[in-house]
Copies of this chain bind each other. A is one copy, B any other.
Amino acid sequence: MSGAGNILADLAPDPAAERFEVLLSRPGVRVERIVSCGQASPPGFWYDQPQGEWVLLLRGAAGLQLEDEPAPRRLEPGDYLWIEPHRRHRVAWTQAGAATLWLAIHVEAAAPPI
């Protein structure tokens, strides 16, 4: 994590694995760059995260399934979505043969008042 860079650099897709890079990590907030190439969440797997996640698709295309919706949302470049903590979701598909670039902002739920 260097503090500065270009999010479009080094987009060579890797069909073998998604690539994750932390661009910013501060108390309560983590910004991540993800490069996918045809990957999807394993069958039957759901993310169930204590943090909220704001996701922005910048290149490529993906299908994002929210458990409480009947079908995956198709995400195109520029599309963003806020996923509340514990809203179960999975990546149904990402475009094959090309890089799909995501920006994800993970936000800790605020501590409850005491």
Contact = CB atoms under 8 A, between A and B. Distances in A.
Interface of A: 3-9, 23-24, 26-29, 31, 52, 54, 56, 58, 76-82, 103, 105, 107-108, 110
Copies of this chain present in the complex amount to 2
B23 A80 contact: yes
Nearest to A9: B78
Contacts of A4: 79-82
A57 to B, nearest CB: 9
A103 B56 contact: yes
Contacts of A31: 54, 105
Contacts of A8: 77-78
Nearest to A106: B29
